Every structure is written in structure tokens, then in C-alpha cells.
């Protein structure tokens, strides 16, 4: 079964750090661009960042540039999101997603909740 499973979410204080993980299974992880997408509960979706198959290229939404870092380990079929200098406005459910075609996300994880609060 093709599957993405996120982990690592939790409650953190403003200015703190958190590392999210996404475990992929059921497909050849190394062949796909991967993305992180977030959603504030009750609000819309926001794309955050993506990474090329070999990790050589990444794109970030402006609001997280310099604070978040995406990475991947193809040997472990895993995607990561290192989040530093967290802000209250980063509070959201974070999804990892597989990209197909032109920036279409065909497989999504169940999401992991990140809460930034003092």
C-alpha cells in the first residue's frame, strides 16, 4: 500500500524548534519530488516547501525561508522538516505529500499537529 506517515508534531514555545518526519512506503521514494503542506485548523491549505528527488533543489514559501529546512534520506525512505525559530502563526497540521505531474500532490499523509504557544 502506498503510504506516507508523519510524526514529530507537538507543543513548542515560540522561538523553539521541532523536527518533523515523514516515512514513505509502497513506492520508490527516490523517484519523486516531495512537499510539506500545512493547514491551520478550520482554515485553508498552504504549501510550505518541496525537495527534488536527489535533494539538490528546494523551494520554500517566503514566510518560512531561513527558519525551516527540508531534507530527505532516500536510503531510509524518509522526508524531514526542521523547523526553527517557530512562531505562533506556524501552528497548523503539517502534511507531507508526494508530487506527480506538475506540482500535483497525489499521496498525502494523515498529518501531524504542530502547536506553537507559550
Per CB under 8 A, residues contacting other proteins are: 35, 37, 44-47, 50, 59-62, 95, 100-106, 108-111
Instruction: For residue 51, give the H/E element and its range.
Output: strand 45-51
Q: Minimum distance between the CB of residue 106 and other proteins, rounded to whole angstroms?
A: 5
Between 72 and 98, CB nearer to other proteins:
98
Q: Minimum distance between the CB of residue 84 and other proteins, rounded to whole angstroms?
A: 20
Q: How many CA atoms lie within 13 A of 73 on its CB side?
A: 8
Between 3 and 13, CB nearer to other proteins:
3
Q: From CA 115, how far away is CA 9, in angstroms rounded?
A: 8
| Residues pairing with 114 in the sheet | 10, 92
Amino acid at each position: 500500500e502506498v503510504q506516507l506517515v508523519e510524526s514529530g508534531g507537538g507543543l513548542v514555545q515560540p522561538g523553539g524548534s521541532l523536527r518533523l518526519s515523514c516515512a514513505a512506503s509502497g513506492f520508490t521514494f527516490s523517484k519523486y519530488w516531495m512537499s510539506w503542506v500545512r493547514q491551520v485548523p478550520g482554515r485553508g491549505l498552504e504549501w510550505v516547501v518541496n525537495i527534488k528527488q536527489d535533494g539538490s533543489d528546494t523551494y520554500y514559501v517566503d514566510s518560512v525561508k531561513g527558519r525551516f529546512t527540508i531534507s530527505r534520506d532516500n536510503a531510509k525512505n524518509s522526508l524531514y522538516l526542521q523547523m526553527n525559530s517557530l512562531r505562533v502563526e506556524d501552528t497548523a497540521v503539517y502534511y507531507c505529500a508526494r508530487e506527480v505531474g506538475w506540482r500535483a500532490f497525489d499521496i498525502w499523509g494523515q498529518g501531524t499537529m504542530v502547536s506553537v504557544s507559550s
